């Protein structure tokens, strides 16, 4: 999912930075290639997690009280030394989190620098509102993932870990269509009517 958001950030960047050449740059072949690369990187990352988890020794009859068994959850119940576990988790976290996030930040840095050069304030507002939904989804996802990893290292409370896992595995993907549809004028008008009725 994170690699796909990096591709989406690049798409927004091309749409704002080179609007007249967008259809030439983002042709169907490049779009297909970018989606294929993001899927392959996601598969490679999941296989890396599987290989890491399979190389450790675990206690018998240990129950993980979570509906979603992340690699960090499984490594916490291994009986190997903690230095190796922590080093591997930081390495995998750096690869799977830092690379896509740095691509997103770079795209948004270029995007913001391009938007600030637009002379009219209505043009700036339109450009920022176009990418605001994507940035909101990325911030929600990465915020809950960081919260999950901090909660799993600070406290071993199964309830907190389950809430964070539920947020980033179920709730945020369900919110994606709603957040992206907030740009739609009909949805905005319906929300304002609903808000005025309740108030």
* Cα 157 from Cα 55, distance rounded (Å): 26
Output the pLDDT for position 150. Answer: 66
Return the structure tokens found at 115: 């938007």
**189-194 long-range contacts, CB within 8 A, separation 24+:** none
Query: pTM to 2 decimals?
Result: 0.64
Return the structure tokens found at 199: 């108030």
Output the pLDDT for position 29. Answer: 92
One digit per residue, pLDDT tens: the chain, 199 residues? 677 778 877 887 787 778 788 888 889 999 899 889 988 988 887 787 777 777 777 667 777 666 666 666 676 677 767 677 777 777 777 777 777 778 778 878 887 887 788 788 887 777 777 677 777 777 777 777 776 666 666 666 667 777 777 777 778 778 777 776 766 666 667 777 887 887 7
Across the chain, how many H-helices and E-strands are there?
Answer: 10, 0
H or E, element range at 96: none
Residue pair 4/43 in contact by the 8 Å Cβ criterion: no
Q: Give the range of the structural domain holding residue 179, as residue numbers without chain letter.
A: 2-198
DSSP state of 116: T
Total domains present in the chain: 1
Q: CATH number, domain at 123?
A: 1.20.1070.10
Half-sphere exposure of 74 toward its Cβ, with a 13 Å CA cutoff?
15
């Amino acid at each position: 999912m994170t690699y796909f958001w990096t591709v989406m950030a690049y798409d927004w960047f091309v749409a704002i930075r080179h609007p007249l050449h967008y259809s030439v740059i983002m042709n169907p072949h490049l779009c297909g290639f970018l989606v294929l690369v993001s899927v392959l990187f996601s598969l490679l990352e999941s296989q890396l997690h599987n290989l890491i988890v399979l190389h450790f020794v675990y206690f018998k009859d240990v129950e993980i009280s979570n509906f979603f068994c992340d690699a960090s959850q499984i490594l916490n119940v291994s009986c190997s030394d903690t230095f190796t576990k922590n080093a591997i988790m930081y390495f995998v976290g750096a690869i799977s989190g830092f690379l896509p996030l740095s691509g997103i930040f770079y795209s948004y840095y270029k995007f913001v620098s391009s938007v600030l050069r637009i002379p009219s304030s209505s043009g700036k507002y339109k450009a920022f509102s176009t990418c605001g939904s994507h940035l909101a989804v990325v911030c929600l996802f990465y915020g809950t993932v960081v919260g999950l990893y901090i909660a799993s290292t600070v406290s071993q409370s199964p309830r907190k870990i389950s809430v964070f896992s539920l947020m980033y595995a179920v709730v945020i993907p369900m919110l994606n269509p709603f957040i992206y549809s907030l740009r739609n004028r009909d949805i905005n008008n319906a929300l304002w009517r609903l808000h005025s009725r309740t108030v």
